[in-house]
Amino acid sequence: MKTKLLLILFCIGFVGIEAVSIAKPPTSNNVQEQINGIPVYRQSGSFIAPETLDGLISTSDLVVIAKINQSIEEAKSVPEVAADGTIGAPISQVQGEIRQVFKGNFFLKGQTITIGQQAAVLTAEDGKPYIRAIDDYQPFKKGRYLLFLKKGFDGQTYFPIGVYYGKYNIDGTDTSEDVIQDETFKNIRSAVRQRFKDSE
């Protein structure tokens, strides 16, 4: 496993927070992109990333194909918030309908699980929404994904391994992972496409 900085993961103990005070909202100087018309503010994170597909699989508690029916705007925001109102890890949750299980609890097929992601829609001091995301993470869109998941500290929420290393769209509805420039991710993505090509 390769360390990519040091991650602030996971703060799922904060589930249920609905309103937060944003210490440093985005400005025209630090927002360089938009998702669905919403400004995106990216912060550096830290996380442990796998170096190979086999490493990705062995680290996963659950390897599944899931259908996501929520966009980032519809996801439940549950960010980690410090005492001074500063956002630590931006986290939101979506629901995933399990279509196929390759590793983990095979009884989950046909069930719905909660999936966390390192991006959330928050509210700036001027009342306008913005998306805060870790590094190159691209939020879920509505579509089918091959997911390599690790169970969070709450025992109920699953997270893609290595922030974005464990998340691959397989129905063409989300091409945002194409923008990720991480060479190790690109290599693993190619291996994922090859090994799981008959499952798409």
In a domain, 171, yes or no: yes
Query: Is 1 domain-assigned?
Result: no
- CA-to-CA dists, residue 171 to 26, 133, 144, angstroms: 32, 23, 6
**Tens digits of residue pLDDT in 4-36:** 433 333 333 333 323 333 335 556 565 668 888
pLDDT in tens, 87-122: 777 899 999 999 999 999 999 999 999 999 999 999
Task: Select the highest-mean-pLDDT range: 12-16, 33-37, 55-59, 82-86.
Answer: 55-59
Cα 186 from Cα 30, distance rounded (Å) = 26
Residue with the bigger pLDDT between 122 and 81: it is: 122
Host domain of residue 87: 17-199
* Residue 191 pLDDT class (50, 70, 90 cuts): very high
Cβ-proximal residues to 155 (8 Å cutoff; 6+ apart), any chain: none
Q: Is residue 4 part of a domain?
A: no
Q: How large a percentage of the chain has pLDDT more than 90?
A: 54
Q: 85 or 163: which carries more pLDDT confidence?
A: 163
- Mean pLDDT, residues 44-52: 82
| Total count of domains within the chain | 1
Q: Which two tokens stand for residue 114?
A: 């909660």
Q: What's the chain's average pLDDT?
A: 83
| pLDDT at residue 28, rounded to an integer | 55
Instruction: Give me the pLDDT at residue 24, please.
Output: 55
Q: How far apart are CA 160 and CA 167, in angstroms?
A: 6
Q: What is the pLDDT of residue 127?
A: 86
CA 161 to chain centre: 9
Report yes or no on 3 lying in a domain.
Answer: no
Assess contact for 159 and 140: CB atoms under 8 A.
Answer: no
Distances from the Cα of 115 to the Cα of 10, 61, 69, angstroms: 13, 13, 12
> What's the pLDDT at 173?
93
Q: What is the pLDDT of residue 151?
A: 93
8: in domain: no
Q: Looking at the DSSP assignment, which residues form a beta bridge with residue 95?
A: 114
| Domain membership flag for residue 7 | no
